[in-house]
Amino acid sequence: MGRSTSIADVGMSIVKLLRRELVPDTLQNPDAVGLCSPTDRGDYMVGIHLYDIRESEELRVNTMIARGTEELQYPPSYVNLYYMITVTSTGDIKFRSGEEHKILGRIIQILADHPCLDRETLEPKTVRKQLDVEISMQNLTLEDKMRIYSVPNAGYKLSLFYRAAPVEIESTRSRRAARVMDVDFGLEEKQ
């Protein structure tokens, strides 16, 4: 990972995971899951909205990375991604809330069973290694949730909130590094 597309890649990996696990038992159509804002859902039943990106406070790298013997690359940046997952059923109003709750429960189950993404391939994993992207549920207050879900002329819709971190974004800057190739030490007797 680490490219400039890392943020988009993580979002699409979460979409892929949910599509694979929700269809066909919970949802009939894989295209019902996608990245969207709460105000522009389109045909998505399960909308995944990236609402915040923050620099990782836990992981800051200040050392240059050796790329061969004559080049040093500047350190990568690490960010935390914050997602809101909202379910909107289009079914009969009598069954709509129950269907939405069932889907939300299944999403919690899926993300608990696949709590991380491999840092290189972004494929779901069950056991996390260092620098893999961990997907964890966020415990926000109702006030915080309502502030994030700020859809004009609409009340708050029950949503799930997750963090994906750390996400690596490589630096494109590098510099030449002259390596010490020969060292000559001399000893003198002090009088």
Q: pLDDT of 73-88, one tens digit each?
A: 788 889 999 999 999 9
| pLDDT at site 2 | 55
Task: Output 144-153 pairs: Cβ under 8 A, ≥24 positions apart.
Answer: 148/51, 148/84, 149/38, 149/84, 149/86, 151/38, 151/39, 152/39
pLDDT of residue 116: 93
Q: What does R_g of the chain's alpha carbons equal in angstroms?
A: 23
Whole-prediction pTM: 0.84
Domain residues of the chain, as ranges?
6-64+73-171
| Longest CA pairwise span in the chain (Å) | 100
Contacts with 123 (C-beta within 8 Å, 6 or more apart), sequence order: 13, 117
Count CB neighbours of 71 within 10 A. Answer: 13
Look up the CATH architecture of domain 6-64+73-171. 2-Layer Sandwich (3.30)
pLDDT tens for each residue of 118-152: 888 888 877 777 789 999 999 999 999 888 887 76
Sequential pLDDT tens for the chain (191 residues): 557 899 999 999 999 999 999 999 999 999 999 999 988 888 899 999 999 999 998 877 777 777 777 778 788 889 999 999 999 988 888 898 999 999 999 999 999 999 999 888 888 877 777 789 999 999 999 999 888 887 767 777 889 999 999 999 988 887 787 666 667 777 777 76
| Predicted pLDDT of residue 180 | 63
Q: How many CB atoms lie within 10 A of CB 106?
A: 18
Strands 46-55 and 77-87 come out as antiparallel
Paired strand residues for 55: 79
Residues pairing with 162 in the sheet = 83, 137
pLDDT given for residue 181 in this prediction: 64
